Amino acid sequence: EAGVAQSPRYKIIEKRQSVAFWCNPISGHATLYWYQQILGQGPKLLIQFQNNGVVDDSQLPKDRFSAERLKGVDSTLKIQPAKLEDSAVYLCASSLGRVDYGYTFGSGTRLTVV
Protein backbone atom coordinates (compact mmCIF):
# COMPACT_ATOMS: atom_id res chain seq x y z
CA GLU A 1 0.00 0.00 0.00
CA ALA A 2 1.46 3.34 -1.01
CA GLY A 3 1.76 5.89 1.76
CA VAL A 4 0.66 9.51 1.98
CA ALA A 5 2.60 11.48 -0.61
CA GLN A 6 3.63 15.09 -0.01
CA SER A 7 5.57 17.59 -2.04
CA PRO A 8 7.80 19.46 -2.00
CA ARG A 9 9.97 18.04 0.80
CA TYR A 10 11.62 21.39 1.51
CA LYS A 11 10.80 24.99 0.71
CA ILE A 12 12.58 28.23 1.56
CA ILE A 13 10.77 31.50 0.88
CA GLU A 14 11.01 35.10 1.95
CA LYS A 15 8.40 36.61 4.23
CA ARG A 16 5.35 37.98 2.46
CA GLN A 17 5.78 35.48 -0.39
CA SER A 18 3.25 32.74 -1.08
CA VAL A 19 3.76 29.00 -0.98
CA ALA A 20 1.68 25.89 -1.69
CA PHE A 21 1.96 22.33 -0.48
CA TRP A 22 0.46 19.26 -2.09
CA CYS A 23 -0.81 16.03 -0.53
CA ASN A 24 -2.05 12.79 -2.08
CA PRO A 25 -3.65 10.53 0.55
CA ILE A 26 -3.74 6.77 0.64
CA SER A 27 -6.20 5.46 -1.93
CA GLY A 28 -9.66 5.08 -0.46
CA HIS A 29 -9.03 7.26 2.57
CA ALA A 30 -11.97 9.61 2.85
CA THR A 31 -10.55 11.78 5.62
CA LEU A 32 -7.57 14.07 5.09
CA TYR A 33 -5.83 16.26 7.65
CA TRP A 34 -3.26 19.04 7.49
CA TYR A 35 -1.08 19.58 10.55
CA GLN A 36 1.53 22.20 11.45
CA GLN A 37 4.48 20.96 13.49
CA ILE A 38 6.70 23.71 14.85
CA LEU A 39 10.19 22.60 15.89
CA GLY A 40 10.12 20.99 19.33
CA GLN A 41 6.33 20.70 19.48
CA GLY A 42 3.64 18.17 18.68
CA PRO A 43 1.58 18.38 15.51
CA LYS A 44 -1.30 20.85 15.61
CA LEU A 45 -4.33 20.29 13.41
CA LEU A 46 -4.98 23.01 10.85
CA ILE A 47 -7.85 21.54 8.84
CA GLN A 48 -9.75 18.29 8.42
CA PHE A 49 -11.58 17.22 5.27
CA GLN A 50 -14.15 14.47 4.90
CA ASN A 51 -14.18 13.70 1.18
CA ASN A 52 -14.18 17.22 -0.30
CA GLY A 53 -15.99 18.91 2.59
CA VAL A 54 -14.39 20.72 5.53
CA VAL A 55 -15.09 19.14 8.94
CA ASP A 56 -12.89 21.32 11.12
CA ASP A 57 -10.88 24.42 10.24
CA SER A 58 -11.15 26.13 13.60
CA GLN A 59 -7.36 26.41 14.01
CA LEU A 60 -6.60 27.50 10.45
CA PRO A 61 -5.41 31.14 10.28
CA LYS A 62 -7.85 31.99 7.54
CA ASP A 63 -6.43 35.45 6.87
CA ARG A 64 -3.36 33.83 5.32
CA PHE A 65 -3.93 30.07 5.06
CA SER A 66 -6.28 28.30 2.67
CA ALA A 67 -6.80 24.67 1.75
CA GLU A 68 -8.85 22.77 -0.73
CA ARG A 69 -9.56 19.18 -1.59
CA LEU A 70 -11.14 19.14 -4.98
CA LYS A 71 -12.73 15.85 -6.07
CA GLY A 72 -12.19 14.45 -2.60
CA VAL A 73 -8.73 13.05 -3.33
CA ASP A 74 -5.57 15.15 -3.25
CA SER A 75 -5.31 18.44 -1.42
CA THR A 76 -3.34 21.67 -1.45
CA LEU A 77 -2.51 23.97 1.45
CA LYS A 78 -1.54 27.54 0.64
CA ILE A 79 0.01 30.31 2.70
CA GLN A 80 -0.23 33.89 1.42
CA PRO A 81 1.52 35.99 2.61
CA ALA A 82 3.96 33.95 4.69
CA LYS A 83 5.29 35.17 8.04
CA LEU A 84 8.45 34.17 9.86
CA GLU A 85 6.38 32.24 12.44
CA ASP A 86 5.02 30.00 9.69
CA SER A 87 8.36 28.19 9.59
CA ALA A 88 7.42 24.62 10.45
CA VAL A 89 6.88 21.16 9.03
CA TYR A 90 3.49 20.79 7.37
CA LEU A 91 2.22 17.26 7.69
CA CYS A 92 -0.60 15.66 5.79
CA ALA A 93 -2.40 12.61 7.17
CA SER A 94 -5.26 10.47 5.96
CA SER A 95 -7.57 7.86 7.44
CA LEU A 96 -10.48 5.63 6.48
CA GLY A 97 -12.71 7.71 8.73
CA ARG A 98 -11.89 7.83 12.40
CA VAL A 99 -8.39 8.47 13.73
CA ASP A 100 -8.24 4.87 14.99
CA TYR A 101 -8.86 3.49 11.49
CA GLY A 102 -5.68 3.35 9.43
CA TYR A 103 -4.43 6.80 10.33
CA THR A 104 -1.21 7.54 8.39
CA PHE A 105 1.05 10.58 8.16
CA GLY A 106 3.12 11.69 5.22
CA SER A 107 6.77 12.74 5.65
CA GLY A 108 5.87 16.40 5.55
CA THR A 109 7.12 19.59 3.91
CA ARG A 110 9.68 21.59 5.83
CA LEU A 111 9.02 25.31 5.28
CA THR A 112 11.57 27.94 6.19
CA VAL A 113 10.49 31.58 5.97
CA VAL A 114 13.40 34.04 5.95
Partner 1 sequence: QQQVKQSPQSLIVQKGGISIINCAYENTAFDYFPWYQQFPGKGPALLIAIRPDVSEKKEGRFTISFNKSAKQFSLHIMDSQPGDSATYFCAASMVNYGGSQGNLIFGKGTKLSVKP
Total number of residues binding partner 1 (CB under 8 A)? 22
d(CA 48, CA 92): 10
Q: Which is nearer to partner 1, 59 or 80 (CB)?
A: 59
Give least dist CB 2 to partner 1, A. Answer: 14
* Least distance between partner 1 and beta carbon 12 (Å): 16
Task: Give, as ranges, the residues between 14 and 43 that touch partner 1 (CB under 8 A).
Answer: 33, 40-43
Instruction: List, in sequence order, every residue forming a beta bridge with 13; answer none if it has no partner.
Output: 113
By CB under 8 A, residue 98 contacts partner 1 = yes
**Binding to partner 1 in span 45-84, by CB under 8 A:** 45, 48, 55-56, 58
Calpha distance 48→33 (Å, rounded): 4
The smaller minimum CB distance to partner 1, of residues 14 and 97, is found at 97
The C-alpha torsion from 21 through 87 and 89 to 48, rounded to 10°, is -60
Q: What are the DSSP calls for 52-100, one per residue?
A: TEEEE-TTS-TTTEEEE-GGGS-EEEEESS--GGG-EEEEEEEESSSTT
Contact positions toward partner 1, by CB under 8 A? 4, 33, 40-45, 48, 55-56, 58, 91, 93, 98-100, 103, 105-108
